[in-house]
């Protein structure tokens, strides 16, 4: 989506605020002993309270309001009867539609106690997202996003999950610009345009570079010996600092 007026921006800010609040509410509720379905129910109730509809459910008939993935699952995990344990590294992805506008956000959470390795991975992944956001300006090549993420990942000795990429959002859950990699691709000559709406969502790992689909047809996982974290925002490109729609 490329926005063209203040009304569209206001609508995107509204749905962005809703998914950010929902993610925040779910993260605060995390505790050992609850099931991922119970956590998803909290997210579903929060979306409904604001008049928003789960985007993966509406778009893909996903069997949950949100995606909840516990390492080695890293994305698109189906909420269910799995019990959350102390020490789990959990990714929560919240996306929603309201009045024809869409936003997408996500974050990784460590259920205490947190190890130094998990804390460092999450800290570096948040830094990668921050650096990528700061690189976005109208007129720059789109591959500055992947370059910024890759620079941070390399300095931290982390790998990047290459088949999970950022994407356009706003008028639908997934739209143009599609397939924005979290690594530097010199062949990607697309240009950032003012008003573009898309996500940035780096997945950094302690060694994995690919996520495979599990037998349920949804969940994406890495080999169990690796840890992976992800943080995601939806944004609007401007001539200066981008507008982050999903900042809580």
Is 41 part of a structural domain of the chain? yes
Instruction: Kindly state the percentage of the chain with pLDDT values over 90.
Output: 100
Residue 81 sits in a domain of what CATH number?
3.90.230.10
Is 1 part of a structural domain of the chain? no
Across the range 20-26, mean pLDDT stands at 98
Query: How many structural domains compose the chain?
Result: 1
pLDDT surpassing 90 at residue 248: no
Domain span including residue 201 = 6-244
pLDDT surpassing 90 at residue 237: yes
Across the range 188-205, mean pLDDT stands at 98
Instruction: Kindly state the percentage of the chain with pLDDT values over 70.
Output: 100
At 97-148, the pLDDT tens digits run: 999 999 999 999 999 999 999 999 999 999 999 999 999 999 999 999 999 9
At 55-110, the pLDDT tens digits run: 999 999 999 999 999 999 999 999 999 999 999 999 999 999 999 999 999 999 99
Across the range 180-193, mean pLDDT stands at 97
Is 193 part of a structural domain of the chain? yes
The residue count for the chain: 248
């Amino acid at each position: 989506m490329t926005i063209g007026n203040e009304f569209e921006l206001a609508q995107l800010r509204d749905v962005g605020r809703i998914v950010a609040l929902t993610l925040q509410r779910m993260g605060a509720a995390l505790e050992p002993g609850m099931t991922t379905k119970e956590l998803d129910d909290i997210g579903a109730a929060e979306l409904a309270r604001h008049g928003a509809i789960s985007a993966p459910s509406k778009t893909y008939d996903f069997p949950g309001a949100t995606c909840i993935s516990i390492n080695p699952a890293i994305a698109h995990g189906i909420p269910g009867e799995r019990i959350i344990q102390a020490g789990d590294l959990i990714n929560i992805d919240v996306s929603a539609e309201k009045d024809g506008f869409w936003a997408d956000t996500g974050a990784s959470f460590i259920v205490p106690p947190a190890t130094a390795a998990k804390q460092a991975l999450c800290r570096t992944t948040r830094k990668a997202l921050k650096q990528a956001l700061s690189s976005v300006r109208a007129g720059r090549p789109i591959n500055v996003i992947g370059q910024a993420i890759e620079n941070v990942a390399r300095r931290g000795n982390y790998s990047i999950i290459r088949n999970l990429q950022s994407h356009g959002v706003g008028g639908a859950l997934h739209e143009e610009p599609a397939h924005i990699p979290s690594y530097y691709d010199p062949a990607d000559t697309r240009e950032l345009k003012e008003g573009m709406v898309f996500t940035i969502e780096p997945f950094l790992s302690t060694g994995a570079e690919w996520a495979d689909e599990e037998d349920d047809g949804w969940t994406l996982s890495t080999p169990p010996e690796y840890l992976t974290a992800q943080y995601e925002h939806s944004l609007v490109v401007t001539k200066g600092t981008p507008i982050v729609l999903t900042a809580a």
